[in-house]
Amino acid sequence: MNIGIVGIGALGSLIGFQLSGADADQVWMLGSWPDHIAAIQRHGLACEHNGNVAIRRVNITDTPAQIGACDIVLILVKANQTLRAAEQARTLCHSTTLVITLQNGVGNREILATTLGDERVVQGVTRLGATMLAPGRVRFAGIGPTFFAATDGQRTRLEDLIKRFQAAGLPSEPRTDVEQLVWSKLVVNAGINALTAVLRIPNGELVARPPARELVAALVREAAAVAAARGTSLSGDPVEQTLAVAEATATNYSSTLQDVLRGQPTEISAINGAIVREGARLGIPTPCNRFINDLFGALDYRR
């Protein structure tokens, strides 16, 4: 099974590292970060986990034509890069290739499907935590399951990928509840990402600091109310689940904090901003999410 990974940030690098352990020749990473690409090509990709560091040879390039056709293409770019990623993914596809989004936010699958066709695009959700430490070096910052919400026609083709993930130490399973998966992660991201970026703290500090915990709860309750208004059920207590994720990934720097520290565009418009827009459409007030979304704009975090 040939796998292409479009997006070489922390999560794309972590998944590329794990999947390359069994057969590196079948895995390629595609991105546009020159320092990261050069470091991996020269020295391999280093992954830190529980204080230990391992280095693996990983295929990486900034040129889609160097990769060729893939059976699976994983999309792990920022939400504002999805359209460009769709065009890149098109060059990696053969007639039965599946393209799977594991991105944050909502609407990414629809953008990919517009370019690539609805029948080949799969919605995925991952709860892995990863922190980029330096070019060529990533930290495995939190273990969590990866879900693939396939249609009946896609499920058989996904079985081998799920086995590959599991063999690589990445728990995964098929699911059918697409909307619940996407919104469950969106609610968690709404409570964690922006706050960790503004406060410049790792995820676990949101649990350790009572005022931060209250802010998390306020953001999450609004997001859950919007989900309920649109008819999307969330299992369990969303506040407790968000705090549990923050605690399970305590040392992780959220992807939004990593973006801010590197001076890169963030995805807050596709996370808290998406909740504000959907709340406005449904008549659900979202003052906390609106404030945090507007705050990012005021701070010029290039939403």
| Contacts within 8 Å (CB) and 24+ apart, 170-174 | 170/15, 170/18, 170/19, 170/128, 170/146, 171/143, 171/144, 171/145, 171/146, 172/145, 172/146, 172/147, 172/148, 173/145, 173/147, 173/148, 174/147, 174/148, 174/149, 174/150
Burial of 107 (0-12, 13-18, 19+ CB in 10 A): middle
* Catalytic residue flag (residue 185): yes
Residues 6+ apart with CB under 8 A from 158: 98, 122, 148, 150, 174
- Catalytic residue from among 120, 137, 185, 277: 185
**DSSP annotation string for 35-47:** HHHHHHHHH-EEE
Which residues are the active-site residues?
A: 185
